[in-house]
Structure 1
Amino acid sequence: MARAPLTIVCTGTYWRNAWKYEARTYRHFGWDNGTLLANLLAVSAASGLQAKVVLGFVDAEVNRLLDLNTRQEVSLCLVPIGYPSERSLPEPPKQVPALGLKTVPLSQHEVEYPAMLDMHEASSLESAEEVKEWRGEARIVPSSPPIGEQTLLSPAPEEGQPKDTIEQVILRRGSTRTFDRAASVTLAQLSIILDQATRGLPADFLHSSGAQFNDLYLIVHSVQGLKPGAYFFSGERKSLELLKEGEFRSQAHHLGLEQDLPADACVDIFFLADLGRILEMYGNRGYRAVQLEAGVIGGRIYLASHAQHLGVTGLTFFDDDVTDFFSPHAESKSAIFLVAIGKPLKRQPQPG
């Protein structure tokens, strides 16, 4: 990383979301940062530049370099971009002065939620030795073997793939506010989304190609070529495993905090992870990694959906109810994120 031409440091500001979501905002650090990273990695790839997400760093040193007030803002990850220089590295300065950058207050008054500060402190790395130990050797979280009916992904051939540039897709990217309940998407469209979103994340905490913390579970409402029902997506096999067949719009409505969006969408993608196993292998910082990875996958789902002119939105949910719905397959897993995909409802112009 020291030889990279450029390193971007991503930070999170507690109050930016805490005014609405309170302590649950800590999850949004991963989701929002992941969305940004999905765009950043896509543009870097389109530009022919290397980019890698680095989560292993000494938090206090990076925060000190940026002169952050860590009760309000903290560093989340580093992203070195470009090809390493072959030149010898200069001697590092003995002391780096604080940047002293001025920031504009988000509001006149802020409320502090100690749980977020405690979580961040508990998942911080305090020395180079801790960073080295945390990165460690490759650690694989095993996937579940298939037991139900499987449907292989069937993305469109190359000539049928979206042709817009990444810049065009990002410019029209946004969250859909209302879905057309009567619409449907094709299996080919869903296949492109799942394939593009799960091609692996270049990160220092994922050592093998295709390794992934988050498992994707789907509630399919109206996908041409798929029975309505609950599914598990296997990235290794590039297949969808039918867990239970049926119409589950009312259940999706409940799971998505009684909102219409997941009920009206064509398909809902739930992210679940075995946090117990991940925390055992990666320590408390594993929680950051899970949320960050979910944000990147979710961001890629956004890009792949908008590349096909579909609608998409990220949502929150009733945690335990999501696990219960997909159990026994999802037993012992925790709900991490939810993305709904469909076709935007085109509102009729009002007369006069």
Structure 2
Amino acid sequence: MPDQRRSIAQHFHDRTKYDPTTLASKTQQLDWRNQPIPFKEYKIGTAYDLKPYLNAEPALDNGDKQWQRIARFLFCSYGLTVKMTMLNGEAVYLRAAPSAGGLYPAEVYLISRGTPQLPVGLYHYQTQTNSLLHFWETEAWKPLQEACFWHPALDATQMALVVTVVFGRSAWRYQDRAYRRIFLDAGHLLGNIELAGAINDYRPHLIGGFRDEAVNQLMYLDAAQEGAIAIVPLADLWDIDQNLPPTSTALPSAIQTDYPDIPDGRLLSYMHQMTQISGDPLPDRLPAARADGEPDQYNFPFCLKVSMESGAIAWGDHLAELEKTMLKRRSTRAYSGTDLTLEELRLLLDFTYQPAHYLDQGLDRSPDYFDLSLIETFIAISGVEGLEEGCYYYAPRAQELRQIRFKNFRRELHTLCLGQDLGRDAAAVLFHTADLQRAVAQYGDRAYRYLHMDAGHLGQRLNLAAVRLGLGVSGIGGFFDDQVNEVLGIPPDEAVLYITTLGRGRASE
């Protein structure tokens, strides 16, 4: 019988936890002959080739400048940056945004209201050819506005992205737990979209509350295979009428507590169905979020507190170094075990959590997330010069680390990260967590999507900051959930969402 006191989001999280005693039963032999293809193709449509506009030379006229902005924006967000040939001769493509297992479940669509470059209709970003495919010409803006409950960010904008996920690409390898990784990957992409927008003078406005079925039908998606998960209107900062204030990003879904016994293999699809919004939103059920002035959590008396205030990472004139970093980003495969400096850790956290410090470089001082007040950050320190080993809570408002446990955790981190050497050899391992019960009370079961996308977004900022500083970084979505809380002293009601390892890569990398 299902637990009537817990929502489907909490049930799903518990059901998909890894545990040392049951991990073998939750994994299966991969059928490499049926590995999903991480690209979507259309048989018909008009293709707009974006490759000619990717050069760094100034465009000749306004039309070319607009094409150059669109091309660079999409390429920095999700373009193919490297082609590798495997020993068996097969090609593997890496993109600007990282993805667990290189499976790339996300797809990027664009809806045009009608611009000089892009006629009215639906477009798909074809990453293999770096082109925009105009596959449907019918006016779609009003139906999009209706599906998004007339969100004000759609009033004056002329283009909007629709981010979708193809469930089977990740489920092929990670089974039901793939739902977590899918949204972490989508968060990486949203992080890139935010920063690529700043480089190209667009302001992305994030929308997470929409009628799922209406958007899926608008985009002609097979909802059993692919679903929309985020809408991102693009305000053109060259048009004063599109300089819009930030607006609400998230709406609640229902809380589902009456669910049947769901067999393994079907839990992912059931979970996604239950996190959808079908009728009108429920803002009257939305409790107030944490106020901006409310203090950080876990302010333990007498604990060691270390200031993390620092200068800012320099991203170059017109964010040129940011663009280079986005295109050369790679996940580190092995660390040397060498220490980081305290200043390097400060810079990493500053770029990730203090966006207001980068306003003078042209970045948004308050980029859109779904609700960062729900996310907490803990860091296991194994090798940072000038910092005691142990587990710390990072307080972003106070900009300080607060020590909650004294210990060298290298051996335990190796185990917690499923035996991956990355956990053992990293200088610092960062954990994003959330009180899932509190999040569900605020946003319904749809909170599970929001939490993982926000964690992935933060993780992508960490990725880029580390690469810019010449450091190694790698995200980990597979870990022993409950054991993380026990070993590190993290409160048991904090659900672990994501792990990011940081250190110095081996010279061979």
TM-score between the two structures when normalised by the length of structure 2: 0.58
TM-aligned CA deviation for residue 34 of structure 1: 0.6
1:139 matches 2:289:
yes
2:408 to 247, 250, 255: 247
2:213 to 60, 65, 69: 60
Counterpart of 1:30 in structure 2 is: 183
Note the alpha carbon deviations across 1:122-159, whole angstroms, 9 max, x for none.
110012x226557x57422874241111101142x45x
Counterpart of 2:456 in structure 1 is: 295
Structure 2 stretches of 5 or more lacking a match? 1-152, 243-263, 356-365
TM-aligned CA deviation for residue 290 of structure 1: 0.5
Structure 1 pair 218–34 and aligned structure 2 pair: CA distance change class (3 A):
same
SS in 2 for 1:341: strand
CA distance in 1 between counterparts of 2:508 and 2:456 reads 30
Which letter does structure 2 place at the counterpart of 1:124?
A: Q
Counterpart of 2:341 in structure 1 is: 186
% same residue: 27
TM-aligned CA deviation for residue 291 of structure 1: 0.6
Counterpart of 1:124 in structure 2 is: 276
Decide whether the 8 Å contact of 2:205 with 2:235 is kept in 1: no
Decide whether the 8 Å contact of 1:154 with 1:187 is kept in 2: no
Decide whether the 8 Å contact of 2:455 with 2:497 is kept in 1: yes
Decide whether the 8 Å contact of 1:52 with 1:80 is kept in 2: yes
Which letter does structure 1 place at the counterpart of 2:346?
A: S
Counterpart of 2:174 in structure 1 is: 21
Counterpart of 2:304 in structure 1 is: 149
Note the alpha carbon deviations across 1:47-82, whole angstroms, 9 max, x for none.
332212210111011100111111111101011111
SS in 1 for 2:204: coil
Decide whether the 8 Å contact of 2:336 with 2:504 is kept in 1: yes
Which letter does structure 2 place at the counterpart of 1:288?
A: R
CA distance in 1 between counterparts of 2:387 and 2:322 reads 29
Decide whether the 8 Å contact of 2:309 with 2:350 is kept in 1: no
Decide whether the 8 Å contact of 2:340 with 2:385 is kept in 1: yes
CA distance in 1 between counterparts of 2:305 and 2:240 reads 47
Counterpart of 2:43 in structure 1 is: none
Decide whether the 8 Å contact of 1:55 with 1:204 is kept in 2: no
Which letter does structure 1 place at the counterpart of 2:485?
A: T
TM-aligned CA deviation for residue 240 of structure 1: 0.5
Decide whether the 8 Å contact of 2:221 with 2:227 is kept in 1: yes
CA distance in 2 between counterparts of 1:74 and 1:15 reads 11
Which letter does structure 1 place at the counterpart of 2:278?
A: E
2:379 to 196, 210, 218: 218
Q: CA RMSD in A?
A: 2.3
Tell me the matched-pair count.
314
CA distance in 1 between counterparts of 2:281 and 2:268 reads 22
TM-aligned CA deviation for residue 185 of structure 1: 1.2
SS in 2 for 1:226: coil
TM-aligned CA deviation for residue 237 of structure 1: 0.6
Which letter does structure 1 place at the counterpart of 2:290?
A: I
Structure 1 pair 145–174 and aligned structure 2 pair: CA distance change class (3 A):
same
Decide whether the 8 Å contact of 1:184 with 1:224 is kept in 2: yes
Alignment of 1:142-181 (within 5 A): 143-147=296-300, 148-155=303-310, 157=311, 161=314, 163=316, 165-181=321-337
SS in 2 for 1:344: coil
Note the alpha carbon deviations across 1:154-208, whole angstroms, 9 max, x for none.
42x45x7454622100111111111111x121111111111211237644743xx
1:69 matches 2:222:
yes
SS in 1 for 2:377: strand
Note the alpha carbon deviations across 1:295-323, whole angstroms, 9 max, x for none.
10011110111111111101121111111
Decide whether the 8 Å contact of 1:4 with 1:80 is kept in 2: yes
Decide whether the 8 Å contact of 2:352 with 2:462 is kept in 1: yes
Decide whether the 8 Å contact of 1:196 with 1:300 is kept in 2: yes
CA distance in 2 between counterparts of 1:9 and 1:85 reads 24
Decide whether the 8 Å contact of 2:334 with 2:422 is kept in 1: yes
Structure 1 pair 332–177 and aligned structure 2 pair: CA distance change class (3 A):
same
Decide whether the 8 Å contact of 1:268 with 1:341 is kept in 2: yes
1:198 matches 2:198:
no
Structure 1 stretches of 5 or more lacking a match? 88-111
Decide whether the 8 Å contact of 1:5 with 1:85 is kept in 2: no
Structure 1 pair 332–59 and aligned structure 2 pair: CA distance change class (3 A):
same
CA distance in 2 between counterparts of 1:173 and 1:205 reads 25
CA distance in 2 between counterparts of 1:138 and 1:280 reads 11
2:475 to 307, 314, 325: 314
Which letter does structure 2 place at the counterpart of 1:226?
A: L
Structure 1 pair 131–47 and aligned structure 2 pair: CA distance change class (3 A):
farther
Alignment of 1:43-54 (within 5 A): 43-54=196-207
Structure 1's consecutive aligned runs of 4 or more residues displaced over 4 angstroms after TM superposition are: 83-87, 131-134
Counterpart of 1:326 in structure 2 is: 488
